[in-house]
């Protein structure tokens, strides 16, 4: 328009192209847009469809598309899906190219399962510990139905009850101590006091002959405790010293002892292993103890020896059958006095500082509970980590 403000509007505009030229441009660009829209739509459908584009559309024999499909099939690998071309075995993904009816090729990429080649997948091993929100509930994959009840078993993926129900710990190097308080379930008030007053780091051992074990177990697990099951075993002075009904005895034979063991095991769930109650004579007899250790190995449970018998063969047989195994270093309440128990706890700490780790066992007496709770408050300040018993056993899988 220049600077002539009086010129009519639009006099100096470029001449419009002829109608027929404009129509030709419209058809050209609309055709390209339609093709692009079709490809985008087909790709979106392949991503959102449950089956995706795993099968090419049927191509009539004898057509040009059918000939192209024949040429794209991998050599030596008959392809029942005409028009489908797969990537090589070592590619980073599964690549599928589908030839559509209008000659366009749509490519789909999906992850490929790796076996021998390609990126390494790191197996972190079995999970250790349980989600605190689920700690009171058993993992159904780690239970089997037996005539005596539901028994612990290694899961189909190799997960052991010992790992599933273990109390997690920091993994840091330093002085570590496990404290096991046993006899729970025999006294309602004593059991309540132990669960209420003892910190979650303390391992609680439930007596197989106790009452309402599953209910107490759930309460203890919700508070963060690791659980063991105490199995009564024959002492040297039996029957004067009677461990109670369903005890394992040398004279019963393997079949009867396993039945009694399984009966006790079925009383409770969510425990990492078993611990002896008495049992000096039984633990010293290799023929009687061997079937028990074999059974524990099959079930993925640990065995904790309370250390009360110098003649125990539990370490030897546990090693022979790859059973995770530990010995208590001290009985903390052989003298039932809070002052005496505190002295024993100090002695346990010295053992742990010398060896790196130590295990102490006690019963759920009022004096024991009070002394352990008070000592733990101070021990944390000295940099001692209290861990579950499973963290200190000799585990063949960790060698």
Contact present, 297 and 321 (Cβ < 8 Å) = yes
Residue 1 has pLDDT above 90, yes or no: no
Q: Give every strand in the sheet of 84-86, ordered side by side.
A: 84-86, 94-99, 105-110
Nearest of 275, 264, 262 to residue 324 by alpha carbon: 275
Q: In this predicted model, what pLDDT tens digit does every residue of 33-84 receive, in sequence order?
A: 444 444 444 444 444 444 444 444 444 444 444 443 444 444 444 443 333 3
Residues 6+ positions from 238 with CB-CB distance below 8 Å? 249, 281
- State whether residue 34 is helix, strand or coil: helix
Contact present, 361 and 332 (Cβ < 8 Å) = yes
% of the chain exceeding 90 in pLDDT? 64
Least confident of 46-60, 148-162, 190-204, 208-222: 46-60
Q: How far is it, in rounded angstroms, from Cα 190 to Cα 45?
A: 65
**Per DSSP, which regions of 36-190 are E strands?**
84-86, 94-99, 105-110, 143-146, 149-152, 176-184
Ranges of CATH 3.20.20.370 domains, the chain: 132-398
Q: How far is it, in rounded angstroms, from Cα 154 to Cα 297?
A: 9
pLDDT tier, 173 (very low <50, low <70, confident <90, very high otherwise):
confident
As a whole number, mean pLDDT of residues 192-208 equals 97
Q: In this predicted model, what pLDDT tens digit does every residue of 295-346 receive, in sequence order?
A: 999 999 999 999 999 999 999 999 999 999 999 999 999 999 999 999 999 9
What is the assigned CATH class of domain 132-398? alpha beta
As a whole number, mean pLDDT of residues 74-100 equals 47
Nearest of 104, 91, 103, 96 to residue 79 by alpha carbon: 96
Q: Is the dihedral of CA 125, 126, 128, 132 positive or negative?
A: positive
- State whether residue 23 is helix, strand or coil: helix
DSSP string, 95-118: EEEEE-TTS-EEEEEE----SSSS
Q: How far is it, in rounded angstroms, from Cα 355 to Cα 178?
A: 13
């Amino acid at each position: 328009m220049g600077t002539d403000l009086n010129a009519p509007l639009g006099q100096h505009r470029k001449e419009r192209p002829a109608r027929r030229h404009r129509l030709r441009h419209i058809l050209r660009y609309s055709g390209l847009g339609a093709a692009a829209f079709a490809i985008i739509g087909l790709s979106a459908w392949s991503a959102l469809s449950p089956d995706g584009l795993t099968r090419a559309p049927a191509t009539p024999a004898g057509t040009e598309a059918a000939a192209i499909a024949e040429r794209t099939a991998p050599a030596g690998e008959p392809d029942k899906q005409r028009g489908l071309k797969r990537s090589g075995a070592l590619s980073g993904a599964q690549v599928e190219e589908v030839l559509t009816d209008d000659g366009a090729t749509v490519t789909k990429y999906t992850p490929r399962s790796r076996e021998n080649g390609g990126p390494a997948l790191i197996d972190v091993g079995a999970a250790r510990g349980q989600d605190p929100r689920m700690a009171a509930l058993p993992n159904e994959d780690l239970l089997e139905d037996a005539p005596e009840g539901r028994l612990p078993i290694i899961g189909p993926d190799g997960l052991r009850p010992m790992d599933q129900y273990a109390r997690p710990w920091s993994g840091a190097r330093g002085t570590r101590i496990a404290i096991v308080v046993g006899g729970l379930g025999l006294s309602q008030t004593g059991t309540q006091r132990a669960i209420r007053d003892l910190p979650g780091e303390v391992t609680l051992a439930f007596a197989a002959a106790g009452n309402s074990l599953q209910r107490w177990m759930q309460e203890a697990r919700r508070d963060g405790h690791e659980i063991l099951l105490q199995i009564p075993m024959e002492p040297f002075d039996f029957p004067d010293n009677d461990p109670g009904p369903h005890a394992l005895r040398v004279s019963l034979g393997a079949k009867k002892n396993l039945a009694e063991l399984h009966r006790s095991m079925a009383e409770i769930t969510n425990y990492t292993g078993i611990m002896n109650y008495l049992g000096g004579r039984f633990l010293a007899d290799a023929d009687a103890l061997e079937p028990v250790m074999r059974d524990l190995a099959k079930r993925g449970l640990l065995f904790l020896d309370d250390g009360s018998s110098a003649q125990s063969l539990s370490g030897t047989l546990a090693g022979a059958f790859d059973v995770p195994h530990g010995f208590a270093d001290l009985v903390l309440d052989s003298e039932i006095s809070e002052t005496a128990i505190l002295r024993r706890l100090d002695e346990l700490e010295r053992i742990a500082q010398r060896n790196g780790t130590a295990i102490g066992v006690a019963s759920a007496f009022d004096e024991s509970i009070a002394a352990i709770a008070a000592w733990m408050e101070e021990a944390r300040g000295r940099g001692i980590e209290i861990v579950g018993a499973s963290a200190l056993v000799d585990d063949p899988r960790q060698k």
